[in-house]
Amino acid sequence: MKHHFENHDLITEQTSQLIDLTDDVRAAVDRARIENGMALVYSPHTTCAIVINERESGFSADFAELLAEIAPAEGHYYRHDDLDIRSEGIEEDTADFPNGHSHIRAGLLASSSQAVPILEGTLMLGTWQRIFLCELDRSRPRKVFIQVIGE
C-alpha cells in the first residue's frame, strides 16, 4: 500500500466562507499515483469543517444564513465567551475575538474530515459534489491535510 501526504496552508477571509479544495485534492491524487484507494481531507482546527456539497452561490448564502440563525455570532450568551467562568483554552486575544458561536457551529457539523474513494485514479465524487473547507470563525491562517492511501 502506498501513502502520500500534503499540507496546504491558506488564510480564510470570513465566517461561513466555503473554500473549494476539490482541485487541490485531485492534484494530490495525481501526484500520489494511486489508482485505487482513498483520499482523506482533514482540518486540524476546532472551528473549521470539511464538507462535501455543491458549488452554487444560492447554497453558499443559504448555508451561511442557516449557520447564523442556529448559532448567531452576536446577541446570544455563550459560556465559552464568558471569561469570568472560562478557565481553559484561553489565548492572548480570546477576549478580543469571542467565538463561542463558531464552536457550536463546528459541533453541529461535526466534520473535521471527509474520505472520498479513489477508483482507477479518479475521485469518486458525484456530478455536483465539491470538497470545501468551511471557516466557522473569523479570518485566520488555516491548514488542510490531504492524505492519499491505496494501491
pLDDT in tens, 84-132: 999 999 999 999 999 999 999 999 998 999 999 999 999 999 999 999 9
pTM for this entry: 0.93
7 Cβ neighbours under 8 A, 6+ residues apart: 143, 144, 145
pLDDT recorded at residue 129: 98
Please list, in sequence order, all residues whose beta carbon lies within 8 angstroms of the beta carbon of residue 105, skipping any fewer than 6 positions away.
47, 49, 67, 70, 71, 136
Q: Buried (b) or exposed (e) across 63-73, using 16+ Cβ within 10 A?
A: bbeebeeebeb
Q: What is the mean pLDDT of the chain?
A: 96
pLDDT at 110: 87
- The pLDDT of residue 22 is 98
